[in-house]
Structure 1
Amino acid sequence: MPEKYKWHLLDIEEIFNILNTSRNGLKKEDVIVLQKKYGLNEIADKKQISPLKLFLSQFKNVLILILIAATGISLILGNIIDAIIIFIVVILCTTIGFLLEYRSEKAIKALIEISAPNATVLRDGTEVKIPVKEVVPGDILILHAGDKVAADARVIESYDLTIDESILTGESEPVKKDTITLKEDVLIAERTNMVYAGTIVLHGRGVGVVTDTSIWTEFGKIADMLSTDDVEDTPLKKRINQIGKKLSIAYIFIITVLFVIGVISRPSVNQIVALIIWSVSLAVAIVPETLPLIITGTLALGAQKMSKNKAIVRRLYAVETLGCITAICSDKTGTLTKNEMTVRKIYVDNQKINVTGTGYEPKGEFIDETGEKIDISQNNSLNMALTIATLCNDSKILYEDGNYRITGNPTDGALVVLAEKASLSKDILEGRYKRVGEIPFERERKRMTTIYHDTSSDKKFVFVKGAPEMLLSLTSFIYTDKDGKDFIKEMAPEDKDKILFISDQMATEALRVIAVAYRYIDNDNNKDETFIAEDIEKDLIFVGLFGMIDPPRDEVKDAIIQCKKAGIRPIMITGDHKLTAMAIAKELGMMEENDENKVLTGVDLEKMDEKDLEYLANDIVVYSRVLPIHKLKIIDALKKRGNIVAMTGDGINDAPALKKSDIGIAMNSGTDVAKEGSDMVLTDNNFATIVSAIKEGRTIYDNIRKYLVYIFSYGFSEVVILAASFFIGLFLFKEPLYPLMAIQILLANIVIEDLPALGLGVDPARPDIMRQRPRNPNEPILTKTAIGLLVVMIATISIGCTVIFFKYLQNLTKAQTMVFATFILYEMINAFICRSDKYSLAKIEFFSNKWLILGVIGSILLMLLVIQIHFIGQFFYMVPLSLMDWCTALLIALTIIITTEIFKAFSVRVRNTS
């Protein structure tokens, strides 16, 4: 970075000259040069692990180190072949661990990249949204309420711009920003003409020229010193770690006991060495030391898959929590609906007007109640209403690639499109009216106000738009058109009642209703005014109502049906009128015709205490006219009733609710603050995507459970087989018997675990996955049914392999080969059985998981290669088998189908009768 300037002491034009920029922003060719010069606007993680360090970290595993020690012991004793093979297995294990972790890290990094916040800047005079990391010094930064400031910048325009700088200064009081050049050097907290990276825009809007990026920002200097890469384990990973530790202790205890007994019974050097290698190898083979890593990788890859389906998971634990969701509290606009507002009805001066046209194309007609086309030029009331709606507005219409689109809020956009239908261009209006102030829309206020100077009449207007009941509470007069002239009369109670009645009528037709009003204020061009809402938003003149529709998304209806079948309650939370919300809810199938008692308004919530709301929480379907703060009360009530809650939000005031919910879901179109407080971001803002993500979350957890049953089935079976043969040999044959040699155990581990198991990790969703009740987050990973199936598998495999071993015991090498072959065949069949703990193999689509099939085929080919090719098999102490031997091994292995099918049929009958 060049010389550090005190930007707050410099004039704006001087800053433009230093940074070689202008109010129109940088040119594209300049941006490329600056990005090369200054780098990305991000703070690099000092502790980021390189691929080499990641690979070397695999050797920190205690059991891997023990295995390496066993390799050394083999070399000392002259068992070169054993040492080489064990070392190869060590390299394979660590390489696979590295690849899984590296892939997982890349997946997580990719998700962070996708969900990274954006910044709005001017480039070549055009507003563009870019990733924050692409911001460079000299960029013109556009700031709106809810934005997280992307870089340090000098303010060049401020419209009630208010910043929360507590993250930087520790001061909780918001700071109002201006453009005035400071005369003396002051502390950061007192630099009112600067905004800093990492701070949050609370109110208003502004424009700034970027002065510093990356580690040169004030926040970057601190973050550079305090950067850390600590990542908290997910709850699932913690539980898996606990299981792994308990199993490790159990396995090592068993192995130690066997080792001690073996040494006592046969205290020879060769026997001790053989026992050391066998014991250590068995421990490494059967203790799932990489299980937490594989679980994390599965969650990360699942999250990556979700991101392709437009649901970006920002925190891995969200994947497992998705399967527990019992209630989805969803905003209406844009999530349940298309967010393509179109004005359908207008009410001005006791006149009801219908409007034709669809979407954002500015084509349509204005029709009165008799069906006649209205001459807009002769209708002063309509013109005034359209003028207010257009100027109390930050949206614009753009025409690109043959299509019309709007910038900004869809409600605002619909009003600008409506004015264009009346040939009332926003550009022309803004040529006559100059904005001199504004009070931005806030959900609590339910209105937006702009102040304009009319250059043709030298008057100053206050234009207001918002919720009808809110505006009417501030209104004292009505605008009418009397004989072609403006006429303002005092508003009588019956006038207000009629307007509310018309508004309710529109709402019952699923129309969102916006009211517009205005007033004059004193014009003093020489006065630098600060506009205060309480002073100017009073004694307003009511002009009209606009009824617009945002149609429900077609796919949401099916998603609602899926939710109900899955035991998930969809709940609508909206700032819209109660009647509008009910109409949409009924159309989507969220509520029936006579479900009026399942609706609460913000006013109702204010009157209720916590216990009353908690009592009703599981019955309410729609919350209307609510404020962001009400979301916290709703979440509390639902949680107290035992719900696991997903909550959507997009505004800065939604962030507390997103954090408090079990799964906070932000909209991609929402504020950066909302995104950072969320667990998941929807790139399409669609409710149906939430339901798809829940299905994926359930499937991932289900697959992890399948994977656990699978690896435990052969891990426990190995212990039982080896322990049983050890004691039988020791006491009946006067020496320990080893059905599998150390390197055979290791080979079986590699062949069995890493191919079919990975296939189980990506098993397609069960057909009934969304017909099951949500999972209790406190339930064990392995259900009683899964444990029962596991016991049956272990018993079948252990008995079958033990029988095979003693049948062929006359030739120890062949017996061990037969045990190895039978064990592998058992587990290949087992991989398909583990796809469901209740459905018969006949009911599972065999070919629906190609990766499992390929994994099983790969494992079988490897087994045949090792056994049937003598040159390879001799290194693993195995001999080729005859066709009869293979048939025997296969017949024994097929017994697991019989035993598990009997168990599944029995467990289904028990469930049906209970």
Structure 2
Amino acid sequence: MLVPGDLIRLGAGDMVPADVRLLVAKDLFLNQASLTGESMPIEKTAAAVSGANDNPLDAPNVCFLGTNVESGTATAMVVCTGDKTSFGSLASHITGQEISTSFDKGINGFTWLMIRFILVMVPAVFIINGLARHNWLEAFLFALAVAVGLTPEMLPMIVTVNLSKGALVMSRKKVIVKRLNAIQNFGAMDVLCTDKTGTLTEGRIVLEQYLDPDGHSSLKVLDYAYLNSYYHTGLKNLMDEAILKHEELPASLNIREQFRKIDEIPFDFIRKRMSVVVEELSGLNILICKGAVEGVMELCSFAEVNGEIQAILPEQRQHCRELVAALNGQGFRVVALAYRKMPGATDDPVYTVKDESALVLLGFLSFLDPPKESATAALAKLASLKVDVRILTGDNEIITACICGKVGVPADRFLLGPQIELMNDEELTAVVMDYRVFARLAPIHKQRIIRAFQRNGHVTGFMGDGINDAPALKVADVGISVNSAVDIAKESSDIILLENSLQVLEQGVSEGRRVFGNIVKYIRMAASSNFGNMFSVVGASAFLPYLPMLPIQVLTNNLLYDFSQTAIPTDNVDADWLVKPRKWTISELRRFILVIGPVSSIFDYATFFVLWHFFDAQHNPALFHTGWFIESLFSQTLIIHIIRTNKIPFIESRASWPLTLTSLIIVLVGVWLTISPLATTLGFVRLPAAFWGWLAGILVGYVALTQVVKNWLQKKYNMQ
């Protein structure tokens, strides 16, 4: 067991067992992908830390638990172990209490809204009926029925079925939902933070250009680079692999027939280059050297341009440096290529570093992790859905700017990890909206950025696939990972994409909005209708000498209405609902309930008036109960079709056939109950034929006025 102060030795292939400080290092290169997400090895030395404000993961003399040694050796002293390491701190950020998401807060807000309504309405009904009729038991039972009527008891079923159906649809689109609540957050998401590597880019190094010293494309540079990488017997790095896989390699380069390997001078981290020697058919030996630009150029006495070899002049050296600087500024990693032809030997010659001299500069190779072909179109589609994409990466700002430029993401301003380190949470919250690209980030920086967006009122998603992404995935409203991600990232995420593509993400966003649309429909329908009915109950209780409706009739009405809403998860959602993020707005919902609910009460009172003055209901409580039961059931069923769309119902937008069918069934069942053998048990009587004419007029007026009020709400309060 290691403890702080222990000394350890590290070599190629070793996993670093703790956070350590280097005492001695020789040609040490580490892969820190587990912490930073970047695949290129990082050189480490025993030199002192070069900047107190830099990303701690960039410290040149510190190695971290979970990283592994690519090459070189080192002696180091253990500084931190276990939970106190950088790797261990990640675990502390992804464990503990679950974060409340936008969906959780919305459901909680709606629940408390309904509780407040019930706490006001139910006691009012109880007291009014008790004082009016002096039958407190009857008043209590009726108030209890009113409480049940006000409660949207179908909410758990509607939400669960909606989310489950959405998860099933999304699975067909290669989106796996781990946590059902995340579907609504997916649709409500208006800011998506995503890593660069593997999301905007292919996640692999490719050879982009092969240029002569003047910057023109040269197939000879490609041919010689291929020979160098092909005959290299050491561990091939990502650049060697990119050269060997390059699709434009000419078929005429027949390795086995045209060239024979003679010797090689291996790569080392002091020279930062490697050379191979091959014999061509003419008998000449060719030493081909590939490596770091400055190191190779120092060995060159000549340069080859357009097939002509000439002494390399100071102006040409400066031009080459400017060419390389320009390529680096575009985000390319550049290596130089040079060669030297020598007479063949009769015996087996041995070549050494001394032979890497008087070389001919042949040109340069540029490498890049290229953007995905689908990235630009997917980003444009997300923008059309009003999802603001922000880039969070551990890579440097130069490479990030290059990739962002290729996929259409503005990258004129950056917020860097070292700058974030100097800010407190309030300062970060104040400036985070001003930046679209964040670079050189440590894992904790990503988490802080997500929280800053949330504090600005945004439903924020995060897409990542590495261990370093786990803290941000945990705190995001919707954490998105991919099937190829590390286990800890998938465990911390809410949604897993079977393809690492923003196009798949865009399809999931649309489905999330459809699901949320149907949930909101139910809440608006149930809450406004129930509130309107109870508002009518309070008014009727004040002047009627009997209960407005028997408790069993209230419950029957509520049961039938609830059944009619079971098909809401199958309903269509208007296209204009899908064009922008949707999230819970309790104040908007409260306003909707308080306005639409009383509208239904107007027509309830109209029904009371008709029953009382034209059908002698003051002497026939059963007739009053039956008439209001039918009118209430019809109006509640109609409100489903009015509220389900912002358009004109039945004309511009039609419900799905299951919802239409259940609506018809419930209406027919309600009418049947008043003339069935159950009528006496339920307290119903047969309604006069003339009442149905009055009812038709009342319902037409109800539909018209509700549509007008709905349109007014939409325009005045920009309500959707």
Which amino acid in the other structure matches residue 245 of structure 2? V
Q: Tell me the residue number matched to 2:389.
A: 570
User: Over residues 411-437 of structure 1, what are the superposed CA-to-partner deviations in whole Å (9 max), with x where a residue is unaligned?
Assistant: 9975552399579999xxxxx99xx99
Q: Is the 8 A contact 2:297 2:336 kept in 1?
A: no
Residues 804 and 819, structure 1, Cα contact 8 Å, conserved in 2:
no
The one-character-per-residue Cα deviations of 1:601-647 (angstroms, maximum 9, x if unpaired) are 85985898679976764343344666656535654665565544322
Cα gap change, 1:619 to 1:275, in 2 (>3 Å):
closer
2:706 counterpart letter in structure 1: T
Q: What displacement does 1:831 show? A: 0.3
Amino acid at match of 1:901: Q
Q: Contact 1:840–1:904 (CA<8 Å) still a contact in 2? A: no
- TM-superposition CA deviations, 1:721-779 (whole Å, max 9, x none): 3333333223xxxxxx23432222222111111323x333454333323555x5676x4
Alignment-derived partner of residue 418 in structure 1: 246
Q: Is the 8 A contact 2:110 2:586 kept in 1?
A: no
Aligned position for 1:209: none
Is 1:750 the counterpart of 2:614? The answer is no
Any idea what the Cα deviations from partners look like across 1:784-822, whole Å, max 9, x if unmatched? Answer: 652354234333343234234424315443332222221
Change in 2 beyond 3 A, CA 1:615/1:231: closer
Give SS of 2:461's match: strand
Specify the code of the residue in structure 2 equivalent to 1:501. Answer: L
| Contact persistence 2:194–2:389 (CA under 8 A) | yes
Of 105, 108, 112, which aligns to 1:238? Answer: 108
How many Å apart are 1:826 and its aligned residue? 0.5
Distance in 1 between residues matched to 2:402 and 2:229, nearest whole Å: 26
Residue 349 of structure 1 deviates from its aligned partner by 8.1
Closer/same/farther in 2, CA of residues 497 and 694 from structure 1, 3 Å limit:
farther
Identity of paired residues, percent? Answer: 20
Structure 1 counterpart of 2:661: 854
Secondary structure at 2:414's aligned position in 1?
strand
Does the C-alpha gap of structure 1 residues 513 and 636 become closer, same or farther in structure 2, counting only changes over 3 Å?
Answer: farther
The residue type paired with residue 236 of structure 2 is C
1:664 pairs, out of 463, 475, 479, with 479
- Provide the rounded CA distance (Å) in 2 between the counterparts of 1:351 and 1:720: 80
Alignment check: 8 A CA contact 1:760 1:852 kept: yes
Q: 1:863 to 1:279 in 2, by over 3 A?
A: same
Alignment match, 2:409: 590
Residue matched to 2:639: 830
8 A Cα contact 2:293 2:334, kept in partner: no
| Corresponding residue for residue 379 of structure 2 | 560
TM norm structure 1: 0.53
The one-letter amino acid paired with 2:634 is L
**What is the identity, as a one-letter code, of the residue corresponding to 1:257?**
I
Do 1:700 and 1:761's aligned partners in 2 also have CA atoms closer than 8 Å?
A: yes
Q: For the Cα contact (< 8 Å) 1:822–1:890, is it kept in 2?
A: no
Q: Does 1:600 align with 2:414?
A: yes
Q: Distance in 2 between matches of 1:831 and 1:791?
A: 13
Counterpart of 2:568 in 1: which secondary structure? helix
Q: How far does the alpha carbon of each residue in 1:695-719 deviate from its partner, in whole angstroms, 9 at most, with x for none?
A: 4444433433321221123322332
Amino acid of the structure 1 residue aligned with 2:547: Y
Asked if structure 1 preserves the Cα contact closer than 8 Å seen for 2:192 and 2:462, the reply is yes
Q: How do residues 420-499 of structure 1 correspond to structure 2 at under 5 angstroms?
A: 498=320
> Does 1:815 find its partner at 2:685?
no
Is the partner of 1:335 in helix, strand or coil? Answer: coil
Change (3 A) 1:811 1:542: farther
State the number of aligned residues.
Answer: 597
Question: Is residue 570–residue 621 contact of structure 1 (8 Å, CA) maintained in 2?
Answer: yes
Query: CA 1:873 to 1:339, structure 2 compared with 1: closer, same or farther past 3 Å?
Result: farther
The one-letter code of the counterpart of 1:550 is: P
Distance 1:438 1:714, change over 3 A: farther
Which stretch has the larger CA shift, 874-883 or 743-752? 874-883
Question: How far off its partner does 1:479 sit?
Answer: 8.6
Q: Residues of 1 paired with 2:68 and 2:371: CA distance?
A: 40
Within 2, Cα distance between the matches of 1:625 and 1:425?
Answer: 43
Deviation sequence 1:273-317 (CA, Å, 0-9, x none): x55554443433333345356445544543444343333343444
| Residue 835 of structure 1, CA deviation | 1.5
- The CA deviation at 1:584 is 5.0
1:105 matched to which residue of 2? none
2:341 counterpart residue number: none
Q: 2:508 aligns with which of 693, 699, 720?
A: 693
Q: Does the 8 Å contact 2:537/2:548 carry over to 1? A: yes
SS at match of 1:846: coil
Q: With CA pairs under 8 Å and 6+ residues apart, which has the higher RCO, 1 or 2? A: 2
Q: Is the 8 A contact 2:191 2:461 kept in 1?
A: yes
Contact 1:721–1:802 (Cα < 8 Å) also in 2: no
Determine if contact 1:240/1:291 at 8 Å carries over to the other structure: no
Work out which of the residue numbers 900, 904, 909 in structure 1 matches 2:706: 900
Query: Shift of residue 912 of structure 1?
Result: 8.1
Question: What SS is found at the alignment partner of 2:435?
Answer: coil
**1:501 lines up with 2:323 in the alignment:** yes
Q: Cα offset for 1:231?
A: 11
CA pair 248-604 structure 1, distance change in 2 beyond 3 A = closer
8 Å contact kept, 1:814–1:878: yes
| 1:250 counterpart = 2:120 | yes
Determine the C-alpha separation between the residues in 1 that align with 2:254 and 2:86: 31
Q: What is the DSSP-based 3-state SS (H/G/I as helix, E as strand, rest coil) of the residue aligned with 1:418?
A: coil
Give 5+ residue unaligned stretches, structure 2.
Answer: 1-31, 36-62, 70-80, 89-96, 256-261, 278-288, 305-311, 339-360
Of 679, 682, 686, the residue aligned with 2:497 is: 682
8 Å CA contact 2:145–2:551 kept in 1: the answer is yes
Q: Do the aligned partners of 1:649 and 1:658 also contact (CA within 8 Å) in 2?
A: yes
Please state if 1:652 is matched with 2:459.
no
The whole-number CA distance in structure 1 between the counterparts of 2:65 and 2:200 is 34
Is the contact made by 2:194 and 2:391 (CA closer than 8 Å) also made in structure 1? yes
Choose from 575, 597, 622 the match for 1:791.
597
How far, CA to CA, are the matches of 1:715 and 1:638 in structure 2?
Answer: 37
Give the Cα separation in 2 of the matches to 1:481 and 1:514: 20
Structure 1 residue 368: Cα displacement = 4.9
The two structures, once aligned, show a CA RMSD in angstroms of 5.7
> Take 1:498 and 1:612, find their aligned partners in 2: how far apart are those partners?
43
SS in 2 for 1:910: helix
Gaps of 5+ in 1: 1-143, 148-171, 179-191, 193-199, 204-227, 355-366, 395-410, 427-431, 440-448, 455-463, 484-489, 519-540, 731-736
Corresponding residue number in structure 1 for 2:574: 766
Structure 2 residue corresponding to 1:328, chosen from 192, 208, 211? 192
